[in-house]
Amino acid sequence: MNIKFLKAALLVVAAMCCKSALPEVRLPAVLSDGAVLQRNCPIVIWGTGAPGEPVEIVFNKKKAKTNVLADSTWSAQLPPMKAGGPYKLRVNDLEVDDILIGDLYLCSGQSNMELMVSRTMDFFKDEVGSYNNPKIREFKVPKEYAFHGGRNDVSTSEWKKAVPGTSERFGALVYFMAKELYEKNGHVPVGIVNSSWGGTKIEAWISENALSDYPVRLHKLRISEDDEYRSALGRGERRAQSLWYRTMDFDDPGYNGPVNWNRPEFDDSDWIETDLMDSKWGIRDGKALNGSHWLRKTVSVADEKDGKGAELRLGCIVDADSVWVNGKFVGNTTYQYPPRIYRIPSGVLHKGGNLVCIRVVSNGGAPHFVPDKPHKIIYDDGSEISLEGKWRHKVGAMMPPTPSVTDFFQTPSVLYNSMIHPLAHLPFRGVVWYQGESDVDIRFEYASLLKSLISDWRATFSDDGLPFYIVELADFLHESNVNGRKSWQEMRESQRRAADESPSAWWVRNGDIGEWNDIHPRDKKTPGIRVATKILEHPHK
């Protein structure tokens, strides 16, 4: 064989191998199929690749070229575009389909921003089921926290369209906000980047640089950013919780007796009779009785309902529950807030007496069923069987309070790092902020923190006039809870003060609606429409 030819062939193969070993140009998760980009402002396309690698971008007949920098990042800018699409984006050999140009909003906060349309279906089932609009889209930023500075991308996620079967997974408030904007703003496509996490504090959403005026919070970050500390603490806390549940289940006679207490044949005649809504069953000697509690009730089913499927509703329960009907497991919930709505399959209910059995697990405070919630069996034809009134109760395993687990996602700056910083290249039409329930205890400091967040995010997105629309906390707590209601009202005043003292920031009224017994009110349509109205009244300058 010709030696020169062999050497040349080997060089070609080596070059091909080296080329294939290099990282390909990559785009961030938010620049994926179905994305919505902001109209009438420069469009930034960015990503990562091999240092020095040339990058060629083609989008809606606009082109740009650049090279990957030494730190493996690249970005390029395209001229502003009017609303329209769908368009295809090509970056080297990558193709992204179905991109719209419209109005893009960053929506952030805690659980009332995160709460999905599926939790509001009692009010809006017909409306959601009949509305089909693929020009309204949502990208949910994965819930992750990060120490040691801002990330450049988020984990895999994808854009969803407001169509039946998918809309149920949208954030409820932003779904109704987007619908109103689309209908009242010339059918311009609407994109929502939903970066929210239930139970979070505002300090977690502010960058480290913006916390210079809050030394206590910076020192909290300094402690928690130690990887060894978090790892060791996490292992110990998870172990303690595992032991708590293992001990409770092992010593619970409801699971380990001759007959499980969820079985219809079990004799509960010696159990104490109690009213479902009487919280005394969860208290002993004036103290909360933590651990497992069992409640049983026999209800009568009419002959014509024999074998028919139904829906079981138990409102909200503090804290967790597992439920059986005639010995068949129908569902469980692991924490207090979600409404208990469990499907009873066909064939489970029969004419005559039927057993409903609930095992309630109390982790800390007094266990109870939340009042003024539905407690019933509902058949598909709308007929009902009430579950209120007398039940039989017995304690399973008495336990100390559940060992706590440190919520490191509450640490200052860690959500900014992982859920805001990766979006820095995106221009937004505005920011909708709905948060504060977790910060009522710092309500007198909250306005200052919120103003810091507003300035911080405007710097992140290089937009000094980026509008902020601040949703007031909804009505909550019983009228008899005078001190609690006063604290919540003081928090609302802090929210409003932050809006009043920040340019291009507006407060959105929401305290006149809500549910006293539910921190997550189901009417997200009213505040959604109010946010949209405020946006249309105060557009981006």
Q: What is the CA radius of gyration of the chain?
A: 28
Q: Chain centroid to CA 316: how far?
A: 18
DSSP letters along 76-121, please? EEE----SEEEEEEEETTEEEEEEEEEEEEEEEESHHHH-BGGGGH
- On whether the CB atoms of residues 163 and 114 are closer than 8 A, the answer is no
d(C-alpha 536, C-alpha 541), whole Å: 12
What does the pLDDT read at residue 8? 47
Averages of pLDDT over each 10 residues, the chain, 541 residues: 48 44 80 98 97 97 96 97 97 97 98 96 94 98 97 96 97 98 98 98 98 96 97 96 97 95 97 95 95 98 96 97 98 95 97 98 96 95 96 97 96 98 98 98 98 98 97 96 97 98 97 95 97 93 63
Beta-sheet strand order (sheet of 328-333): 272-275, 390-398, 291-301, 352-362, 320-325, 328-333
Q: What's the token pair of residue 218?
A: 């910076």
Residue 417: strand, helix, or coil: helix
Q: What's the token pair of residue 470?
A: 């601040």
Q: Which of these, 329, 258, 320, lies nearest to 291 by C-alpha position?
A: 320
What does the pLDDT read at residue 24? 87
d(C-alpha 436, C-alpha 472), whole Å: 9
**125 DSSP 8-state letter:** H
- On whether the CB atoms of residues 474 and 513 are closer than 8 A, the answer is yes
Q: What's the token pair of residue 350?
A: 């029969």
Helices (runs of H) and strands (runs of E) counted in the chain:
11, 27
What does the pLDDT read at residue 125? 93
Q: Chain centroid to CA 311: how far?
A: 25
Residue 217, phi then psi, degrees to nearest 5: -70, -35
- On whether the CB atoms of residues 343 and 377 are closer than 8 A, the answer is no
- On whether the CB atoms of residues 490 and 444 are closer than 8 A, the answer is yes
d(C-alpha 141, C-alpha 48), whole Å: 19
Residue 219: strand, helix, or coil: helix
Q: Which residue has the tokens 């998918």?
A: 166
The answer for residues whose C-beta is within 8 angstroms of residue 59's C-beta and 6 or more apart is 43, 45, 78, 87, 88, 89, 90, 99
Residue 198: strand, helix, or coil: coil
Q: Which residue has the tokens 């509703």?
A: 313
Q: Which residue has the tokens 């059995």?
A: 357
What does the pLDDT read at residue 426? 98
Q: How many CB atoms lie within 10 A of CB 134?
A: 15
What does the pLDDT read at residue 540? 78
The answer for residues whose C-beta is within 8 angstroms of residue 538's C-beta and 6 or more apart is 467, 504, 506
Q: How many CB atoms lie within 10 A of CB 291?
A: 23
Q: Is the previous residue joined to 339 through a cis bond, with omega within 30 degrees of 0?
A: no
Q: Which residue has the tokens 């008495």?
A: 398
Residue 284 bridge partners (DSSP): 287
Question: What's the first-to-final CA gap in the chain, in angstroms?
Answer: 73
What does the pLDDT read at residue 15? 43
Cα–Cα separations (whole angstroms), residue 73 to 41, 51, 65: 22, 8, 14
What does the pLDDT read at residue 11? 45
